[in-house]
């Protein structure tokens, strides 16, 4: 190609990467086109954005503080029911806290849980997966066996045991869920790396003298992003569901935290007497998870060329 290898090779690396960036930009435009075609995904995205806004501006939106106890208003029903009060649109819980405000603040927790868990699982998973796929050999085998071991347990059960033993609490619950979700990222990254590493552009970059680190993170990783994004969305909703389940089993976020699953667990004894304390938190979980899954479906369809064709 060239007669002065040193100078040219770095130029070549630059060029390859620039091309790849341009391609990425074109892909993004194409991706948005397909994504916006999917009505469900757009609705999901809209709901999700509303939730984000709700969570961020919770202190402004919520009519009451989430832990304010109105001692004269225990278990007030929603406003449209007999005995309801306009002060408490969705009623109050057993210690006189406003349900609506708690649900609004609960959005903070659920989104926070989703973000933290996905961030931890994604970063950890990607790094481990890159190492496994890039190094091959014994390291790869060792890492993948460990992932197999984690995947051999039902995720909720493993998380339950870890949390029960670490002590109940939101941080421990998030940590446990991140651990059980992380092997999926490892597997995906590794598979993508294996597929990509023999491609021309990687070979070219290596021949041109790119270092291991650069190869792993700047050359290969951007090209494995699509499946990772889809998996991240899925994990986001899984994290919310699992955290709520742990809360429901009494080992997740601890009261008075207005986490939805925990609210549900606290409300269980009122199942026959005060339907609203049971129904609303569950509904909130369902809507959130549904919105994220809609977005996830949209992302997958838009990023998966196979489905686009048919």
Which residues are near another protein by CB under 8 A?
40, 67, 69, 71, 74, 94-96, 145-146, 148-150, 152-158, 160-162, 164-168, 237, 241, 244-245, 248-250, 254-256, 261, 264, 268-275, 278-279, 281-282, 285-286, 289-290, 293-294, 297, 306-307, 309-310
**Shortest separation between residue 173's beta carbon and another protein, angstroms:** 13
| Beta-bridge mates of residue 92 | 98
CB nearer to another protein: give 135 or 249.
Answer: 249
Cβ closest to another protein, residue 13 vs residue 45: 45
Residue 35 burial by Cβ neighbours in a 10 Å radius (0-12, 13-18, 19+): middle
Q: What angle do CA 210, 215, 220 make, to 5 degrees?
A: 140
CA distance 71 to 185: 48
Q: Of 208 and 300, which CB lies nearer to another protein in the complex structure?
A: 300
Q: How far is the CB of 180 from another protein (least distance, A)?
A: 10
CB 262 → another protein: shortest distance, Å? 10
Residue 281 tokens, joined: 């938190």
Q: How far apart are CA 219 and CA 65, in angstroms?
A: 49
Question: Residue 218 and residue 223: Cα distance in Å, rounded?
Answer: 9
- For residue 121, the minimal CB distance to another protein (Å) is 17
Spatial distance between the Cα atoms of 69 and 67, rounded to a whole number of angstroms: 6
Taking the least distance from each CB to another protein, the nearer of 83 and 167 is 167
Nearer to another protein, 128 or 221 (CB): 128
Tell me the closest approach of the beta carbon of residue 85 to another protein, in angstroms. 18
Q: What share of residues in the chain are helix, strand, coil (percent, to 5)?
A: 75, 0, 20
């Amino acid at each position: 190609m060239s007669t002065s290898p040193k100078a040219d090779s770095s130029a070549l690396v630059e060029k390859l990467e620039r091309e790849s960036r341009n391609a990425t930009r074109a892909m993004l435009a194409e991706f948005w086109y397909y994504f916006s075609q999917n009505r469900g995904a757009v609705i999901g995205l809209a709901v999700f954005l509303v939730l984000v806004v709700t969570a961020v501006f919770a202190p402004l939106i919520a009519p009451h503080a989430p832990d304010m106890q109105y001692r004269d208003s225990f278990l007030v029903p929603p406003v449209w029911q007999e005995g309801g009060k306009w002060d408490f649109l969705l009623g109050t819980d057993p210690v006189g806290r406003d349900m609506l405000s708690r649900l609004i603040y609960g959005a903070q927790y659920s989104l926070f849980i989703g973000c933290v868990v996905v961030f931890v699982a994604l970063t950890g998973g990607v790094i481990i997966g890159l190492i496994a796929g890039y190094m091959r050999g014994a390291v790869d085998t060792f890492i993948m066996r460990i992932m197999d071991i984690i995947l051999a347990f039902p995720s909720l059960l493993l998380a339950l045991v870890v949390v029960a033993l670490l002590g109940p609490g939101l941080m421990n619950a998030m940590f446990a869920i991140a651990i059980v979700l992380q092997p999926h990222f490892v597997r995906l990254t590794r598979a993508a790396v294996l597929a990509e590493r023999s491609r021309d552009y990687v070979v070219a970059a290596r021949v041109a003298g790119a270092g291991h680190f650069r190869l792993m993170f700047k050359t290969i990783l951007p090209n494995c992003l699509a499946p990772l994004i889809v998996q991240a969305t899925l994990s986001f909703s899984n994290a919310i569901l699992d955290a709520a389940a742990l809360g429901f089993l009494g080992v997740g976020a601890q009261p008075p935290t207005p986490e939805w699953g925990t609210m549900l667990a606290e409300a269980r004894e009122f199942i026959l007497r005060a339907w609203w304390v049971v129904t609303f938190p569950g509904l909130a979980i369902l809507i959130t998870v549904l919105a994220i899954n809609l977005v996830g479906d949209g992302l997958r369809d838009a990023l998966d060329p196979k489905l686009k064709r048919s």
